Amino acid sequence: MAGTTASEVLQGFGITVGKDVDDAPSTQLYVDLPPAELVEHAVKRGEGELASNGSLVIKTGERTGRSPDDRFIVDTPDIHDKIAWGEVNRPISSERYERILAGVVDYLNQRDLFVIRGMAGADRNHSRKFLVACERASQALLIKQLLVRPLVREMARFGEPDFCVIAAPGYHCDPERDGVNSEAAVLVNFQERVVIVVGTGYSGEVKKSIFSVMNYLLPIEDDVLPMHCSASMDPISHETAVFFGLSGTGKTTLSANPTRLLIGDDEHGWSDMGVFNIEGGCYAKCEGLDSYHEPEIYNAIRFGSVCENVVLDAGRVPDYADTSITRNTRVAYPVEHIPNAWGKGMGTVPSVVLFLTCDAFGVLPPISRLTADAAMYHFVTGFTSKVAGTEIGITEPTPTFSALFGEPFMPLDPMVYAEMLRRRISDGHTRVYLVNTGWIGGGYGVGHRIELAYTRALVARALDGTIEESEFVHDDIFNVDIPTSCHGVPDGILVPRHYWKSSARYDEAAHNLAAMFEENFEKKYSHLPDAVKEAGPHAHVAGAARHRGFGLIGRRLQP
């Protein structure tokens, strides 16, 4: 990668869009167009249409979610011993990468190209400059809204980027020739500092590839913990909280709280000085969105926003209840579209950490308190249920364990991040809670998802510390402390076993999930200290209790 202008950087790859080249069609290179012009280009090119609320609505094609099996890291000597190779981080050779890159360059040289220059990291002490070259104007608009937008003076001295992303959704790989799994591929090359995203119009691949890059660079080069989390802070005290969670667990929804300042909704870094947003925008799920339950997100969808796979009615009004294309409908908008967004994108050292999980078994409590060892356990375990549409092939909630609540985006060994979190929590005297935003009163198909209003109330009491005034009981199966009361929440739902119609069926479901926890931990983390292992769930407790026919809640704890 060489050159300081966008055109010079692209020429370093052999991309000559906008240059007079013999026997090549006339093409145009568009650099850093404002949102209005990108919208005009997208509509003119038939990439999408304007909705009644002013947003640009596009369809991503066959792929409406991420394709984990199509993501690869180029295996080069400088990073070979640092990457946690496996099912998540698949290697691909430099030769195959170069072959695909050459094909993409030839393809793009026949087309106009839209380039966006932005930054990842609101804290300029830890930010990286990205150049993103897109085949589609709509994708360029989406990325422009999601990256941190440089100030005028920063753009004037932008120079050579730290990393480049090349997105060509219309280019299709040949799996047999290219050594990939399908026509789509996401290739991350840390040595060349390039990402290639091809064969998919789902822009979440571009967003998450940038996140993956930062998840490699920040711990190694900056001693900063990258986190798959949202973050907000109190407008008066500026006390900060972070919300970990995979897609569908409520990070965006719970962080868009009108009583707090929004730092960001998905990706953050935690340095010695505090938390900072890696992004400059939000990428929210739209399924079932309405103005009553989520007014901040609903009203953020206006001109400059990009909706993916949202169905429009005859009057071009978005129908967020219509999931006929996919349940993973999405919208991207700049964080400033949220009225209470904190423009600086930075907060203090977190006083509270919340792990959000969507439990499809319906046995985890709506909220529970974790010890330091239990926090370590649940961070490396990362239990949740993938919800429909977030990945190809997911049609109903599927229990899964994803280390760090973001394993698909973490190139390094999970213990690198886990040890950093443990140190940060200890140094900051941070309180940690596990929050179930999934099912209660029974598993998927029997119970129901906990009401958002109740989750909001529980989170609010955790943030202001008043939940600690409750009496707690210890759950011997899941090894957590459960509050027995919380203002704004019915007492009856707080202890899951009491809320199920059949305690015997609860015991069976709890045993099954606890056994899954133990099996996953033994398989991946048996080398961790015994104190961490013992802080997790214990399936044998559920089995013994079920056999003897008595309750599973152990000792009562004083506030």
> Residue 188 corresponds to which tokens in the numbers above?
């991350």
Residue with tokens 């280019």: 171
Look at residue 253 and give its three-state secondary structure. helix
Name the catalytic one among 32, 75, 265, 266. Answer: 266
Phi and psi at residue 368, to the nearest 5°: -150, 155
Name the catalytic one among 232, 252, 381, 390. Answer: 252
Q: Is 449 a catalytic residue?
A: no
Q: Is 247 a catalytic residue?
A: yes
Q: Is 400 a catalytic residue?
A: no
As a whole number of angstroms, the distance between CA 467 and CA 231 comes to 20
Look at residue 92 and give its three-state secondary structure. strand
Bridge partners of 116?
Answer: 132
Name the catalytic one among 126, 251, 337, 497. Answer: 251
Look at residue 351 and give its three-state secondary structure. strand
As a whole number of angstroms, the distance between CA 318 and CA 332 comes to 14
As a whole number of angstroms, the distance between CA 37 and CA 35 comes to 6
Residue with tokens 């993916």: 308
> Residue 336 corresponds to which tokens in the numbers above?
């400033």
Name the catalytic one among 128, 285, 330, 456. Answer: 330
> Residue 164 corresponds to which tokens in the numbers above?
């480049």
Q: In what order do the strands lie in the sheet with 90-92?
A: 29-31, 113-120, 128-134, 163-168, 194-198, 185-189, 71-74, 90-92
Residue at 461: amino acid letter:
R
Name the catalytic one among 41, 59, 63, 66. Answer: 66
Residue with tokens 């399936």: 539
Q: Taking Cα atoms as reference points, which of 193, 223, 228, 231 lies closest to residue 211?
A: 228
Name the catalytic one among 208, 268, 285, 422. Answer: 208
Q: In what order do the strands lie in the sheet with 330-334?
A: 48-50, 56-58, 306-308, 330-334, 281-285
Q: Taking Cα atoms as reference points, which of 248, 507, 516, 266 lies closest to residue 397?
A: 248
Q: Taking Cα atoms as reference points, which of 382, 250, 251 lies closest to residue 242?
A: 251
Q: Given 3-state DSSP classes, what are the helix, strand and coil percentages for the chain, each rounded to the nearest 5?
A: 30, 25, 40
Question: For 387, which DSSP code?
Answer: P
Q: Is 252 a catalytic residue?
A: yes
What stretches of 59-110 show up as alpha helix (H) in DSSP?
94-108
Q: Is 208 a catalytic residue?
A: yes
Phi and psi at residue 401, to the nearest 5°: -120, 120
Q: What's the Rg (C-alpha) of the chain?
A: 24
Phi and psi at residue 141, to the nearest 5°: -65, -45
As a whole number of angstroms, the distance between CA 156 and CA 154 comes to 5
Name the catalytic one among 59, 136, 149, 228. Answer: 228
> Residue 124 corresponds to which tokens in the numbers above?
């300029």
Name the catalytic one among 230, 247, 326, 368. Answer: 247
> Residue 467 corresponds to which tokens in the numbers above?
């939940």
Q: Taking Cα atoms as reference points, which of 32, 6, 11 lies closest to residue 21?
A: 11
Q: Is 523 a catalytic residue?
A: no
Q: Taking Cα atoms as reference points, which of 353, 358, 355, 356 lies closest to residue 513?
A: 358
> Residue 6 corresponds to which tokens in the numbers above?
């966008």
Q: Which residues are catalytic?
A: 66, 208, 228, 247, 251-252, 266, 330
